[in-house]
Structure 1
Amino acid sequence: MKTQFAVDVLICGAGAAGLTLAIDLARRGIDFRLIEKNHQPFHGSRGKGIQPRSQEVFEDLGILDRLVAVGGVYPTDRRYRDDGSYSDAEFTPPQTPTPAEPYQHPLMVPQFLTEQVMRERLLELGHQPEFGCELIGFEQDAEGVCARLVGKGGEESIRARWLVGADGGRSFVRHALDIGFPGKTLGVRALVADVMLSGLARDAWHRFGEGDMQRQIAICPLAGTDLFQLQGPIPPDVDSDFSAEGLTAIVAERTGRADIQVSSVSWASAYTMNARLADRYRAGRVLLMGDAAHIHPPTGGQGLNTSVQDAYNLGWKLAAVVRGAPEGLLDTYEEERRPVAASVLGLSTKLLGAMKNGDLRRGREVHQLDIGYPQSSLALEHPVRSGVTAGDRAPDAPIRDADGQRLRLFNLFQGTHWTLLGYGVTRGKVKPRPGMHVHVFGPEGEVNDDQGHVQRAYELAIGDWVLVRPDGYIGAMLASEYLEKLEAYLLQVGLQPVMSE
């Protein structure tokens, strides 16, 4: 008897990771449900930095312009001395956008605004999260997952082909699978709060007591709002007062100033910093992503970004498998993303140590533009190259179309498809496939590398082919004499040729 599935994918958790996956599946026409046990959206600002690589992801998903509109740039970093004087510095070293890397600075958008924009985009695609709907149990077999939910209408059971746990650091899904979550508590308990206050200008991120874990406090104006975010270490064994009066007292004690007055508190939380990584990201037909798979300190602004990019990596693979690609494709999700999380854990922990010593400068390492999957089984390259290689992020470049109109490579990549670029090649050597767009540069092509940016970014020779994955990474780089190796690769990722009648 054929199994009846209610949905292809059940996503548990409607934070940034769950919303990213939902948007990606929605634009691919995959049937899913997105559930969230909380009764309303998260309304805090814990993750507020959108790194350059995530800006590229959000551009592809169609929301970067909206995030820029509701957010803003990071303010000047202002560090106060004990005598009340201060010094100003740029939060990140100034960098000029390049043809290959159009975004060079983190964008500040409070998490609640980011997720609001994402929910609006999801609604445009015909879907919305189900708040107040909790996963309370599940069982899986070779074909799918039977999940028990409880929501406003009571308890229900549904059958899904796949279950994705995006349900945070205390993940019910991870616990139910008994997947280990080793790591360590980092010995720092911290306060974060969104407040209205007076006494400080909004043109700077105000930092007091840098290098002193007893007195340190940072007060940052939240772009797109009238709020400030308070951040600072607090004693591990003391119940702090997070009322307006209590926070005013904490600020006065740490800054030595009585003129900074907190008038209201929008959201406040105390949390202990941890660095933990799940032993595995997949158990049969259940997958983990975001904080359910890795948690780390907020230093470096890596958390939300890593979670979003987990979902961006998983989305196209899940959709391909639902549509008939080999299930082994899903094994590349953990293969690619778990080492990234391990690296981010190390970076965030290192930056936490720097923060304790009063050094908060951040460089290119937090931008996530250098993240890639060169060791992935999905990286195909013949001959072996130097420079940009298979598995790396696919650089952007300005180009022209056949009519001479200016375009970017990112315009060609945007969407749910694969992109195959041929450089000075003979058109027609690759069989057409649904889900793959082919663009040829050169005399037989319809796009023009008139300034040579594509050739320089990818270090291409005449006859080279570059296959770009739906998530903007290079899947394959091949000289024409190795083009036959592309056929098996395309079948592996679910791209079947059009059958002639």
Structure 2
Amino acid sequence: MGTTPEVVICGAGAAGLTLAIELARRGVAFRLVEQREHPFHGSRGKGIQPRSQEVFEDMGILDRLFAVGGPYPVSRIHRADGSSMDTAVVEGAPATPAEPYRQPLMVPQFLTEAVMRDRLAELGHQVEFGHGLIGFEQDANGVTVRLATPTGEQTLQARYLVGADGGRSFVRQALDIGFPGKTLGVRAVVADIVLKGLPRDAWHSFNEDDMARRISLCPLMGTALFQLQAPVPLDGDVDLSVDGLADMVRMRTGRDDLAVLDVCWASAYRMNARLADRYRDGRVFLIGDAAHTHPPTGGQGLNTSAQDAYNLGWKLAAVLKGAPQALLDTYEEERRPIAASMLGLATTLLAQAQRGDNRRGRDVQQLDLAYPESSLTLPADARSGRIAPGSRAPDAPLQGAGGQRVRLFDVLRGTHWTLLGYACDRSNAPSRAGLRVHVIGPAGDLHDVEGHFVEAYGVQPGEWLLIRPDGYVAAVVDTSRIEILEGHFGHYSSR
């Protein structure tokens, strides 16, 4: 912690931890400070969507998350006559070569963040708990940050400050950035409880058609806990004690054989949909809940927050190593419209849930999120079957020239840009620091033996694909336009 930081990250939830890992992977000096004295121990967010699984695979933590979590159980709707009906929470879809993850993974938030902290420790960093941001000032050269720490007030200098400090963000309020939106007229309890009497093979719901008496009890994968969720009146106190929640469970389920033995964490909160007017003020950025708050329906909050950080992390590191400042302008340009659409989706799903419809489709998986209008995207003539610039880069099974099997995601994994040529002459490719070049084809270093690469990307011989460090296609050009692609890459890469 003695190194002068280039970045100070305020808030060590999923967004702050993701950003810290991304900076650590790139050798950026930073400090990750958290006002809480101990890690958050609740499961406010528990769904990791397929696109986030791809992100976490790149970060080196996905297998650990699968090891500590598990698949979503079926939804079991209990009727008043004692019968029940099982339905799938999400539309079933098998993995494909292009989309290796097609099901959400359930990992309670406290376990996700613990895995992230372990990964951060491997990279030589740790969270500084009990360090609260109390003030900051910025000028053209950097940010002066004041912290309240266990040993007294501390002042430090940094190049950038990132507010990952939640919906009540001190950073956002200090910058006087508007946070418009609305309170959605729904107040709910969420609690992690030790519950006896219900099987753990289903997500149990009672009184789906009665908002005043509805309750759901979901087994939290990787733990012995259940998550209780229930709407409550907009006003008045809610008893979150063991006895209080036991009474709620008994009254709303109509069952005396269920026992609440312990409450590990509980919260009563009003659902909001809000979006910050802007994500940046000079050298200060907002990510995660500091920039947007969603209702929990559809499992979008933690995923959108982590992907904010994944987007900002490589750009901050590149600018600190000499890339043009314009690269940082693309963070808000790309991520704020994504958050706006996620707010709309989560709000729509909330309205459906209030009618008893809890089904989830492909739109929550975030695999189709794209940046077609971004400055980082080099426009291309549309062609049927060809992947559009700005889209997520699909996976594909390949074979190395030496005969070994390799996934395209293995080729893309890391902190570099990637240039893929299909049946191209490698001598036409630029040779630049931070750019890895591969040629796919009979004479290349990678072979598309089963045709999955061509199927996913729709490329023709002589075409090149430029793929960003965060796994999105920045450009698709044929060899005659390779100089345009090289210039586009050079404009946004480190010098």
**Consecutive aligned runs of 4 or more in structure 1 exceeding 3 Å deviation:** 381-387
Cα distance in 2 between the residues matched to 1:255 and 1:494: 58
Contact 1:433/1:495, CA 8 A, preserved across alignment: no
Name 2:421's counterpart in structure 1: 422
| Amino acid in the other structure paired with 2:321 | R
The alignment's TM-score, normalised by the length of structure 1, stands at: 0.97
Distance 2:272 2:473 in 1: 33
2:189 is the alignment partner of 1:182: no
SS at match of 1:69: helix
Q: What corresponds to 2:491 in structure 1?
A: 492
Q: Offset at 1:495?
A: 4.2
Question: Does residue 1:446 correspond to 2:433, yes or no?
Answer: no
Q: Give a deviation string over 1:77-121, Cα, whole Å, max 9, x none.
A: 100111111100111121110010000000000000000000000
Between the aligned partners of 1:385 and 1:373, the Cα distance in structure 2 is 18
Matched, 1:311 2:309: yes
Pair 386,292 (structure 1): closer, same or farther in 2 beyond 3 Å: farther
Q: Distance in 1 between matches of 2:471 and 2:355?
A: 37
- Tell me what 1:164 maps to: 162
Structure 1 residues 135, 204: CA separation in 2 closer, same or farther (over 3 Å shift)?
same
Deviations 1:115-171 (A, max 9, x none): 000000000000001000011000000111001111011101101000000000000
Q: Tell me, yes or no, if structure 1 residue 483 matches structure 2 residue 495.
A: no
Q: Is the partner of 1:7 in helix, strand or coil?
A: coil
Q: Given the two structures, how large is their TM-score scaled by the length of structure 2?
A: 0.98
The whole-number CA distance in structure 1 between the counterparts of 2:31 and 2:303 is 23
Matched residue, 1:377: 375
Distance change (3 Å), C-alpha of 1:445 and 1:381? farther
Distance between the aligned counterparts of 2:45 and 2:375, measured in 1?
32
Question: How large is the Cα RMSD of the aligned pairs?
Answer: 1.0
C-alpha contact 2:333 2:374 (8 A) present in aligned 1: yes
Q: For residue 107 of structure 1, what is the aligned residue in structure 2?
A: 105
Amino-acid identity (%): 64
The count of aligned residue pairs is 492
Rounded Cα–Cα distance in structure 2 between residues aligned with 1:191 and 1:201: 22
Matched letter for residue 439 of structure 1: H
SS in 1 for 2:237: coil
Q: Structure 1, residues 316-369: CA drift from partner, whole Å, max 9, x if none? A: 100000001110110100000000000000000000000100000001010000
Could you tell me whether the CA contact under 8 Å between 1:382 and 1:479 is conserved in 2?
no
Task: Give the counterpart of 2:256 among 244, 255, 258.
Answer: 258
**2:92 and 2:323 mapped to 1: Cα distance?**
44
Preserved CA contact (<8 Å) 2:147 2:154: yes
1:229 counterpart (205, 227, 230)? 227
Distance 2:311 2:403 in 1: 34
Query: Deviation at 1:76?
Result: 1.1
Give unpaired runs (5+ residues) of structure 1: 497-501
Give the 3-state SS of the residue equivalent to 2:6 in structure 1.
strand
* Aligned equivalent of 1:205, options 203, 206, 214: 203
The 8 Å contact of residues 427 and 444 in structure 1, kept in 2 or not, is answered as no
Q: Is the 8 A contact 1:211 1:355 kept in 2?
A: no
Are the equivalent residues in 1 in contact too, given 2:189–2:232 (CA < 8 A)? yes
Q: Is the 8 A contact 2:43 2:109 kept in 1?
A: yes
- In the alignment, which residue of structure 1 is the partner of 2:47? 49
Q: What is the SS of the residue equivalent to 1:381?
A: coil
* Distance in 1 (alpha carbons) for counterparts of 2:321 and 2:384: 35
Determine which of 208, 212, 222 is the counterpart of 1:214: 212
Q: Which amino acid aligns with 1:90?
A: A
Q: What's the counterpart of residue 21 of structure 2?
A: 23
Separation of aligned partners in 2, 1:306 and 1:21: 13
In structure 1, the partner of 2:86 is 88
CA distance in 1, matches of 2:228, 2:442: 58
2:37 match: 39
Confirm or deny that 1:132 pairs with 2:122.
no
Find the aligned partners of 1:386 and 1:288 in 2 and give their Cα distance. 38
What is the CA–CA distance in structure 1 between the aligned matches of 2:389 and 2:443, rounded to whole Å?
25
